[in-house]
Structures are given as C-alpha cells and as structure tokens.
Amino acid sequence: MENSRRNFLKIAGISALGLSATPVLDAFALDISMLDMKINATPGKDAITAKRWGMVIDTRKFESEEDLKPMIEACHKIHNVPVLENKRHEIKWIWEEEFKHAFPNLEHEYVNESVEHLPFLVLCNHCKDAPCVRACPTKATFKREDGIILMDFHRCIGCRFCMAACPYGSRSFNFRDPRPFIKDINKKFPTRARGVVEKCNFCAERLAVGQQPACVEASKGALVFGDLENPESEVRRLLKTNYTIRRKVALGTGPSVYYIV
C-alpha cells in the first residue's frame, strides 16, 4: 500500500479494538461466497482432450504492443482478472515482456532490431516437471493428466512457496480483495478471495466444453494450441517446420509453450 503511512495512524484505533473478531468473520464469509462459483473444468461430452497440451506462439505475426492487447484482454476478461493500479499487487495471467526479460539468458547486445523491440507474450508454461507443483504443500497446485498445471483456489493457503519456485514469474498473489477491481464479473468463472495465488489455467474450463483457449481464439492464428504428443497435431507440424525456442530450458522444467522467432 502506498498510503501505508497514513493508514498507520489507524493502528492506534485498531489496537484499541483489540481482539475484535469482525475481520476474521469477514474472511470466512468471503470463502463461502467463493464456493458457490466453483470452477468447472471437468471435461464434458464436447470436451477436447490431449495427452499433453502445448502452445506455439508465432512471434513473427506480431508487430507492436497493440497486436497483443486483444489476447491479453480476452483472457483477463473471462477469467475475472482484476486491474490493480498498484504495481506491487498486480495480477496477470498473460502479459507482454521485452525479449531481454522474457529470455534473459538469450539476450545479447547485438540482437536483431525486430526482436529487440518486439513485445513477447508470456504466460504460465505448464511445465512438464513443474517446480511450483513440487513446492506446493497442499496440492492446491497440481498437474492434470493432460499436462495442464491447475490450481484449487479453495485449498490454497497463500504460502506463496509456488511463487518462489516458479522461474518464470507466472504467478500472482491476491494481496487484497480483487473483486472491487474487476469491471464486469464473468459469472461463469470464479472470482478469487484475497490471500490466494492464481495463474493461467490454459483455459481448462473452455477445453471442457470444446472451445479453444481465449487467447488462441483472439490471436488470428498467431497462437496455436494442441497436443504435443500427437505427431499429427498442428502444434507438432509447426514445431517440425520452424525453429522454436522456449524460456529457460536449462532449468529442466520442460516448458510447454514454444516461440517461433
């Protein structure tokens, strides 16, 4: 909080209240309201399935920041991602980074101009051997059969071990109640309570009803989603015919998001 100093003056008042239980009860109430909107990502009869989902991002198709906006907005809108002014409390599932931040170990002083100035789309890599899953003490972060790394917002205790473990900065924490910062709430997807972690879910809830991920749909073909273990799939065809890179492969996490540069 930027205005923490002013708020500090409130301490005197609050400590006078001593062990007032109101905030605690408040916190419980929020939890319960969240249960109503439990995420429904269980595959239905129209579901599209895969052995291991992956994504190929053709960065050659983007020319400016503007080109990335529709995808970011589509995702953040349907997933009730709040817009927080305070940078420190920011929540993002998919966003843009400069090359040197997205690929810090590939950056060099003579990198070609298009790459240097081109914004890169980054999101959770749904790692094959995900450090966040390994670190989570409650299995609130877990790997589904099809390789998607999912989160149970109701089980998460907010220890943020997963955030320390993720080498890609893919995770955000609800430092405060996000609901006042969501413009139009999408009733079909849960909002989160304060105190839990969240991140991209590869649109598990859309795959369950046979839809492509929201960003892919909004990408006009620049993003391709498919089964990495099916040699006939579109993603495999792209990987076979293009040179691709992944983020921080040296760490052995096995990212499932590939970039054509």
Partner 1 sequence: MLELALKGSKRYFGWIACLLAVIGVGVGCYMWQLSFGLGLTGMSRDVSWGFYIAQFTFLVGVAASAVMLVLPYYLHHYKAFGRITILGEFLAVASVSMCLLFIIADLGQPMRALNVILYPTPNSILFWDMIVLNGYLFLNIIIGWQVLQAEKNSVAPPKWVKPLIYISIPWAVSIHTVTAFLYCGLPGRGFWLTAILAPRFLASAFAAGPAFLILLCLLVRKLTKFDPGKEQIQTLAKIVTYGILLNVFFLLCEVFVVFYSKIPEHMDHMTYLYAGLHGHGVLVPWMWTSIALMIFSIILLVNPFTRQKEGILTVACICVFIGTWIDKGLGMISGGFVPSPLHHITEYVPTKPEIAITLGIYAVGFLVLTLLFKIAITVKEEAEGV
Give Cα 30 distance to the centre of its chain.
22
Question: How far apart are CB 55 and ligand SF4 at their closest, in Å?
Answer: 12
Rg (CA), the chain: 20
249 binds, among partner 1, ligand SF4, none (CB under 5 to 8 A by kind): none
Q: Which of residues 189-248 bind partner 1 (CB under 8 A)?
A: 193-197, 248
Strands (E), the chain: 53-58, 94-98, 119-123, 141-143, 149-151, 172-173, 197-198, 223-227, 244-245, 257-260
Q: Of the two residues 60 and 155, which places its CB atom closer to ligand SF4 in the complex? A: 155
- Identify what 256 binds: ligand SF4, partner 1, none; CB under 5 to 8 Å per kind: none
Give whichever of 3 and 241 is closer to partner 1, judged by the CB atom: 3
Q: Which stretch binds partner 1 (CB under 8 A): 62-70, 72-80, 84-92, 206-214?
A: 84-92
Q: Taking CB under 8 A as the rule, does residue 8 contact partner 1? A: yes
Binder to partner 1 among 29, 35, 83, 164 (CB under 8 A)?
Answer: 164
Is there binding between residue 111 and partner 1 (CB under 8 A)?
no
DSSP state for residue 139 in the 8-state scheme: S
Q: How far, CA to CA in Å, does 170 sit from each of 70, 78, 190? A: 19, 18, 19
Q: How far is CA 13 from CA 3, 6, 8, 82, in A?
A: 17, 13, 10, 30
Nearer to ligand SF4, 71 or 130 (CB): 130
